[in-house]
Amino acid sequence: MKKLLTLAAALLLAQSAQAASTTSTVTVTATVQSACTLSGGSSSGGDTTADFGTYNAALGSTAVTAGASVVSVNCTLGTLYTAKLGAGQHDLAGQRRLENQGTAGNFLNYSVGLVDAGGLLNSVIGVALPFVGLGLPAPLVIQGSIPSGQNPLIGTYRDQLTLTIAY
């Protein structure tokens, strides 16, 4: 019994020793940085192809050949970013050109641009379109055309542009 009384006394002393307290504020912070990723139509990340199909160069042809591609841009919610297309490898004085892959030096003129959030096409070389990140993948449409009235050599034509996302 004596041990039980000693234990009870020790517990009472411990409670009275804990009767006072103090508090402090702990501030918890985190920073969310702007970030953007691109993914396209191939396994190499941002690479994609805008295929214009077959160009009909028959005499008297007035048809414009059009093509499009879509890449996905995923930027942190609220991130302000711009998108622009480079001039391409075969640009000549502001005119984008596809080069014949079998016979160098033969070209086919084309235009290509980015479609903005309002659906307007901007094909001006070096002009960036503004966007706001949604925090989820958003489509970025690349649209272009090959004007009629050209007389190219038969073959497969190609150019390569750089798509730049700046944030």
pLDDT, tens digit, 9 for 90 and up, residues 33-92: 999 998 874 434 557 888 888 888 775 566 677 888 889 999 999 999 999 999 999 999
b/e 114-147 (16+ beta carbons within 10 angstroms → b): bbeeeeebebebeebbebebeeeeeebebbbbbe
- What integer is the mean pLDDT of 24-32? 95
pLDDT of residue 15: 59
- pLDDT grade, residue 110 (50/70/90)? very high
pTM: 0.76
What count of Cα atoms within 13 Å lies in the side-chain half-sphere of residue 68? 8
Domains identified in the chain and CATH numbers: 33-166 (2.60.40.1090)
Please say whether the dihedral angle defined by the alpha carbons of residues 29, 34, 40 and 43, taken in this order, is positive or negative: negative
